Structure formats: C-alpha cells, structure tokens
Amino acid sequence: MKFPFAALAVAALAAATFAASRPAFAQAQSVAPLDRIVAIVDEDVVLQSELDRDVSNVLGQFANSPQQLPPREVLERQVLERLILQKLQLVRADGTGVRVSDAEIDRSMAQIAQQNGLDLSQLRGALTQQGIDYDQFRRNVRDQLVVQTLRQRVAQSRAQVTDAEIDSLIRNGNLRGGQLHLGYIVVNVPDGATPDQIDEAHRRAEEAKKQIDDGMDFAAAAIRYSNAQNALQGGDLGWRNRDELPPALADAADKLQEGQVSPPMRGPNGFHIIKLIGKRDGGAQMVTEYHARHILIKPTELVSSDEAHAKAEAIRQKIVAGEDFEKAAKESSQDEATARLGGDLGWFSGTAYGSRVADQLQHLKPGEISQPFETDAGWHVLQLVDTRSTDKSGELQRDQARTILFQRKAEDEYESFLRQLRSEAYVEIRLPGGNTPAKAAP
C-alpha cells in the first residue's frame, strides 16, 4: 500500500516554493554576511544562511501583505524548528537505508517544470533569474523525496489496520462520502503536560482564533501560531476524503459554512482550529464494465511476431465472414484460461487487462470485432459483447475503510515519531534568547 500523504506531495511542495520566490530573495542572496551556526542538531548544524534562505521564501509568499506575518524573530523560530526537524529526519532516513535515485529526482524536477509551464532548461533559467541556485533547488527536492520515503516506511511499520477495525467501521455506518478542503492549525501540548502548560497552549489557540476573527488571514495565523508540519504552507490540508480525517475534525467541519473557522478544539496532542475552505459530495461510485471475448496467438521460438499477427488476422477474417467467435476461440486461442470458455473474459473494468485492451474497448460497439493488436502476451482479436455502468460503492467499502483507517493511523504515528525524534535529539538553539539546549546530551 502506498502512503497517501496527498497534502505533502513532494513536487507540489517544491513547486510552491519556486512559485512563491521573489526578487527579494535574490537581493538577500546578493549580500553574503559571514555565516554562523544558529542551531546544533546532534552532530549536525543549521547555518544562518540556511535559515535566511527559508525565511526569505516565506517572506516572498507574503510580499503583498507582509503585515500578516509574525515579527521576524517569531518567524525565524518557526522556520528554524522546521529546519531542525528536517535535519533529524534526513539523518534518520540515512541511518535506516533510505535512498533516492537520480532518476526519481529527475522525474520530480520534470513535474515541477511542467506545473510551472516550463521545460527543464527553462526551469533552470527561471531559477537563476530569481537568484535561486539550481543545484541547491535540486538538493531540496531530493531531501523532500527522502523524507517522503521515510514517512512511508514509518507508516508501514507502525500503522497496522486489522480486519476487526475494518468490520467495525463498516458495521457502525461511519463511512461517509465526499471530500473536504480544510485549513488547519494545531497548538501542541507536550506529552505529560502540566496544567499550566495546557492553559498556555489553550491561551495561544484562543489568541490565534481572535486574530483570525479580527481579520488576520488564516494562512498567516497558521505560520504564526501552528505547530503542524504544514504551518509554513499556511496550514492548507488540501482536498481530503472526509473519512481520512479524524472524526472530530470532520464532525466540526460539518457544522461550518465555507469560509468559517472553528473555535479551538481539544485533541490528543493539543488544541485544533480548522477552516472549511470547500466541500464536495462523493456520490455513487459508478464504473463502466465490459463483457468481452478474445482470441490470443502467441509468438514462440518457431513462430515470429509477424507470423502470429498474420494468423490472428486470418482468424478475424473468418469470424467477420460468419464463423462463430466462440468456436474459433475454442479451436485456435492459446489462452488456456479462456479458450475452453470460447474466449469469454466475463465482466471486468476497463483497465483490468491493461491499457492496450482498454484502448480497444473504447473504440468498439457491442458485437464488433477489433483489428488484431499486440500486448506483452501476444496478438489478440477482441470482441465486445456488452457494456454496463455499475455502482461499486458497496464493493469498494472495504478497501475504502482500510485506506481511511491507514491514513488516520499513519498521520498520527508520524506525528508521534517526529515528537519522539525531537525529544531524543540534542538541540542547542543559538538565536537570541534561545541558547539553552532542548535536551542534555547523554
């Protein structure tokens, strides 16, 4: 199972960083002050230049409304914390054997270029024009891919879904269709928090809500107040299936009109605030199914592909001239599974037998015979018997339930993993007022 972190897609994140860059960043790069260490992270460090670069990216996103951002020192703390977590994740990924190939990076770079209406050479030129080093940008994409792979591994090892949980979700009628687009702010409460720490987190969440009510943009409030991993992306969760969200958030969203923001809600790890950006119904899951028959002729060491093609064409001509398709399939098809059934493939979804078969089906009417076409198995002659539209909502329930439960657990487990990673690390922050180590070295 692939780990479905849609809101954290690597290409989308890198593309957003590229799109948000401004000439101001180039100006910042043109002045190169003496670099210094702003944080020690175990055996690694965060440099002032790294912090300045990422802060400049955030400033670029809000170039038209800088008043929405928190004071510089608060923004630097938020960005620095993200950099610290990034370093810790990359070290853990390297230690557990996570590797990303150049081909994977190339594909992501090509996707970023395409999303911006460019080819790779144009992307390089655009980055250079904005003062962004192409090789550094590529390294950033590589790091995001590594972190994404680490997330998938953590999820696969920690987020286990049982049949009993799936049965319970279906039995209790808790599967709800549709999608929600949410903004999200969380003010964390530390594990084993004291009453004073809980009160402080609650006060901070209430302050965030008041600022939003008074006109602050939700994205700016997320940058200022949220501890979520997507805080510096304005807290945007993107479109999520309703059932992939924690039930408390989905229930709260149901009580909101589009554009409204919830009051702070107490959750397992802190106080949550959501904004309903949009909603859309799921509806019935209608699938076009096909009933078809086929005849397969396989090339062999003794029969070339051209000869197999010619044989398939000769069989087709006989059928068109009036020979029964089922009779021809029983006598000539080399697909052992279907030959005795007269080539009958039964009812199936369009892509069940691959893209080449799906392409043929798109151009046939019931009763028509295809021209011979080739797949990895050999040469086929296909007859479309009939089509139908089927509501697969019921049949897909179990897969849907498994995905929902996995998604919920995966995100919770990774957040727990990050908190553990951070608490176990030696972190010394060297920004003004932050020179106390977060954890003593063992």
- Judge whether 1-174+392-442 and 178-282 match in fold: no
CATH class (in words) of the domain with range 286-391: alpha beta
What is the CA angle 428-198-42, rounded to 5?
A: 15
Let me know: does 439 contact 425? Beta carbons within 8 Å. Answer: yes
Q: How far apart are CA 227 and CA 221, in angstroms?
A: 11
Model's pTM, two decimal places?
Answer: 0.53
pLDDT at site 306: 93
Three-class DSSP category at 428: strand
Residue 31 has pLDDT above 50, yes or no: no
Fold (CATH) for 178-282: Chitinase A; domain 3 (3.10.50)
Residue 287 has pLDDT above 80, yes or no: no
Residue 438 has pLDDT above 70, yes or no: no
Mean pLDDT, to the nearest integer, of 95-103?
A: 88
**For residues 17 and 229, which has the higher predicted lDDT (pLDDT)?**
229
**In terms of DSSP H, where are the helices of 159-263?**
163-171, 195-213, 218-225, 247-254
Residue 45 has pLDDT above 90, yes or no: yes
Q: 389 vs 217, 349, 383, 392, CA distance in Å?
A: 45, 10, 19, 9
Residue 427 has pLDDT above 50, yes or no: yes
Any idea where the domains of the chain sit in the sequence?
1-174+392-442, 178-282, 286-391
Q: Tokens 């922050």 belong to which residue? A: 429
Let me know: does 188 contact 227? Beta carbons within 8 Å. Answer: yes
Let me know: does 220 contact 62? Beta carbons within 8 Å. Answer: yes
pLDDT at site 53: 87
Edge to edge, the sheet with strand 236-241 lists 236-241, 179-188, 270-280, 265-267
Give, as one character, the DSSP assignment of residue 215. Answer: T
What torsion, rounded to 10 degrees, do the Cα atoms 267, 270, 275, 280 define? -40
Mean pLDDT, to the nearest integer, of 81-99?
A: 92
pLDDT at site 441: 36
Listed ranges 27-41, 122-136, 176-190, 212-226; the one with the highest mean pLDDT: 212-226
pLDDT at site 24: 37
Let me know: does 132 contact 19? Beta carbons within 8 Å. Answer: no
Mean pLDDT, to the nearest integer, of 198-214?
A: 93
Structure confidence by residue, pLDDT tens digits, 371-414: 999 988 899 999 999 998 876 655 567 777 888 788 888 888 89
Rounded to the nearest integer, the mean pLDDT of the chain is: 84
What torsion, rounded to 10 degrees, do the Cα atoms 137, 142, 145, 146 define? -140
Let me know: does 31 contact 52? Beta carbons within 8 Å. Answer: no
Fold (CATH) for 1-174+392-442: Triger factor/SurA peptide-binding fold (1.10.4030)
pLDDT at site 236: 92
Mean pLDDT, to the nearest integer, of 63-73?
A: 83
pLDDT at site 21: 43
Structure confidence by residue, pLDDT tens digits, 232-256: 888 999 888 777 788 888 889 989 9
What is the CA angle 279-282-284, rounded to 5?
A: 160
